[in-house]
Amino acid sequence: MSHHRNLNHQAAHFITNERGSFFVYFGILIILLFLSTHPLFANTDNENQCIACHSDYWEEMQASIHSRNGVACQDCHGGDPAQADQALAKGPETGYIGVPEKDQAVQRCGNCHANVEFMNPYGIRTDQLARYLTSTHGKRVMVDHDMKAAACMDCHGYHDVIAVSDPNSPVYPSNVPKTCNHCHGNERLMEPYHHPTDVFDQYRESVHGKALFEKGNLAVANCAACHGSHGAVPPGVKDLGATCGKCHVNEKKYFLESPHAAAMVEGKFSECTSCHGFHDVQHPTAALYEKACLNCHATGTTEYQLGQAIERELNNAEQAFEKTKGTVKQAAIEGFFVEEEAANLEEVKTHLIEIKSVQHTLNNHFLTERHDAIVKSTDEIERSIRHKRLSHKQRQWMLVPIWVFIVIMVLVLYRKYKQLKNQKD
Partner 1 sequence: MSDMKTNHAEQPETSRRHFLDWILKGGFLATLLGMFLPALTYLWPVTRRGPVGGMVEVGREDDLAVWGAKKISIGESPMILLRTPQSFKAYSAVCTHLGCLVEWSADKRLIECPCHAGFFDVEGRVISGPPPKSLVGHTVRVVDGKIFVKL
Classify residue 174 as exposed, middle or buried by CB count within 10 Å of its CB (0-12, 13-18, 19+): middle
The answer to whether 405 contacts partner 1 (rule: CB under 8 A) is yes
Interaction of residue 296 with partner 1, rule CB under 8 A: no
**Which part of the chain contacts partner 1 (CB under 8 A), choosing from 261-269, 316-324, 343-351, 377-385?**
343-351
x/- contact string, 198-237, with partner 1 (CB under 8 A)? ---------------------x------------------
Examine residue 391 and tell whether it contacts partner 1 (CB under 8 A).
no
Query: What DSSP designation does 222 have?
Result: -
Do the Cβ atoms of 351 and 377 come closer than 8 Å? Answer: yes
Contacts of 151 (CB under 8 A, 6+ apart): 102, 103, 105, 106, 132, 137, 141
> Buried (b) or exposed (e) across 327-355, using 16+ Cβ within 10 A?
bbeebeeeebebeebeebbeebeebbeeb
Helix axis angle, 364-424 to 339-358, nearest 10°:
170
Contact range with partner 1 by CB under 8 A, out of 48-56, 128-136, 382-390, 404-412: 404-412
Query: Does residue 363 belong to the site contacting partner 1 (CB under 8 A)?
Result: no
Q: What are phi and psi of 355, to 5 degrees?
A: -65, -25
Q: Where are the beta strands (DSSP E) in 94-147?
A: none
Give the nearer residue to partner 1 in terms of CB position, either 160 or 251: 251
Number of other CB atoms surrounding residue 294 within 10 Å: 12
The region of 52-60, 83-91, 156-164, 412-420 touching partner 1 under the rule CB under 8 A is: 412-420
Among 48, 357, 363, 364, binds partner 1 (CB under 8 A): 357
Distance from chain centroid for Cα 34: 42
- Pick the stretch among 78-86, 125-133, 259-267, 348-356 that binds partner 1 (CB under 8 A): 348-356
Choices 63-71, 151-159, 262-270, 402-410; region in contact with partner 1 by CB under 8 A? 402-410
Taking the least distance from each CB to partner 1, the nearer of 184 and 351 is 351
Q: Which of 343, 398, 404, 407 binds partner 1 (CB under 8 A)?
A: 343
- Rg of the chain, C-alpha, whole Å: 39
Contacts (Cβ under 8 Å, ≥6 apart) of 273: 240
**Is position 382 an interface residue for partner 1 (rule: CB under 8 A)?**
no
x/- mask, partner 1, residues 239-268, rule CB under 8 A, reads --------xxxx--x---------------
C-beta atoms surrounding 189 within 10 Å: 15
Distance CA 117, CA 126 (A): 9
* Shortest distance, position 67 Cβ to partner 1, whole Å: 35
Residues that bind partner 1 (CB under 8 A): 219, 247-250, 253, 338-340, 342-343, 346-347, 349-350, 353-354, 356-357, 405, 408-409, 412-413, 415-416, 419
